[in-house]
Amino acid sequence: MIQEVDLLIIGSGISGLSAALEAKKYFKNVLIIDKGYHSGGRICSKKINSFCFNHGAPYINKSSKRLNLGFSNFINKIDRVVPFKVSSYKKTNNSVLLVNPNMRSLFNEHLNKININQKTKVLHIKKQVNYYQIKCDNNRIYKSKKIIVTAPAPQTADLIKDVSPAMLKYINRANFSQCITVLLGFNQSFDLPLNSYFYDETGGICSLLNENHNNKYLKNSSLVIRMSDKWSQFHFNKTNDEIINHCLSTISKKFNIFKINNIVSTYCHKWRYSQVTKKLPANASIVNKEKNLGIAGDWTLGPTIEDAYNSGKIVVQKIL
């Protein structure tokens, strides 16, 4: 089956979603396709049994650059987005925004305004004379005059390498940290501040995110343990069991409120592309106008959720 659209956006993370909301003003037929089960990309919440974990971005950090592209408006329209102060291990207070009941719900108000096909992984993009042919893993084929790719830089490079090789030299300069998160579910609640930062003696664990506050309907406690970027990179190839065991032994030694016997659910997630450590060079172009191709994503602007949002708005203006 071949579906034809005016603009195809690859990726339903916040950059793809903001691009789609902007593009609707100019294009009749806009479609997002994404390989994941849910939209949101790295802004995600995982449900395991009765537990809920924000194991991607735990809260919204705004960009250090004020671009005024509607992000404040987007956030202010959602009354479940609340300001919050996190105390860091450096003893500074960061002001962030929290989404209730979980991060993924950030998009609830918008999803019905956009056409999205989830569980659709793009395998190959081919440029024909006047349009692109996009082949996906579920045997679907899309035809589109213009495309915007919002996957993390290495995945974007892989997708566009045949259609716009000149853009690769810049894209390949963008870098991400790797991050391992461990999700624990307890059969009883514990008393812990919402977010505690600490470094254990191995330099491993860098934060504990107590998810309980977020969902008053959950009886049990959920905890996200985030490993430091350095530790994650070094131990990325360890097995999930080894990583979970390291976390369990560290937190049970450090906090006597955690009893291993009370842990009823464990899960480990490895983020190959977590947060941007080096963005696209400022002189790099995010569109190939001649080819009707655009790229967006946090890595084109900066490391925060707001940067990702802004990148989606900007690329649409440039590809028109």
Ligand X SMILES: Cc1cc2nc3c(=O)[nH]c(=O)nc-3n(C[C@H](O)[C@H](O)[C@H](O)COP(=O)(O)OP(=O)(O)OC[C@H]3O[C@@H](n4cnc5c(N)ncnc54)[C@H](O)[C@@H]3O)c2cc1C
Interface ranges with ligand X (CB under 6 A): 10-16, 33-36, 41-43, 56-61, 121-122, 150-152, 155, 159, 179, 181, 271, 274-275, 297-298, 304-305, 308
Give 61 or 292: the residue with its C-beta nearer to ligand X: 61
Q: Which two tokens stand for residue 123?
A: 């395998």
Least distance from ligand X to the Cβ atom of residue 187, Å: 26
Give 88 or 252: the residue with its C-beta nearer to ligand X: 88
Give 144 or 274: the residue with its C-beta nearer to ligand X: 274
Least distance from ligand X to the Cβ atom of residue 50, Å: 23
Give 256 or 276: the residue with its C-beta nearer to ligand X: 276
Give 36 or 101: the residue with its C-beta nearer to ligand X: 36
Q: For residues 315 and 320, give the distance between their C-alpha atoms in angstroms, rounded to a whole number.
A: 9
Q: Which two tokens stand for residue 232?
A: 């994650």
Give 141 or 264: the residue with its C-beta nearer to ligand X: 141
Least distance from ligand X to the Cβ atom of residue 189, Å: 24
Least distance from ligand X to the Cβ atom of residue 320, Å: 20
Give 134 or 263: the residue with its C-beta nearer to ligand X: 134
Least distance from ligand X to the Cβ atom of residue 190, Å: 22
Contacts of 92 (CB under 8 A, 6+ apart): none
Least distance from ligand X to the Cβ atom of residue 121, Å: 4
Least distance from ligand X to the Cβ atom of residue 154, Å: 10
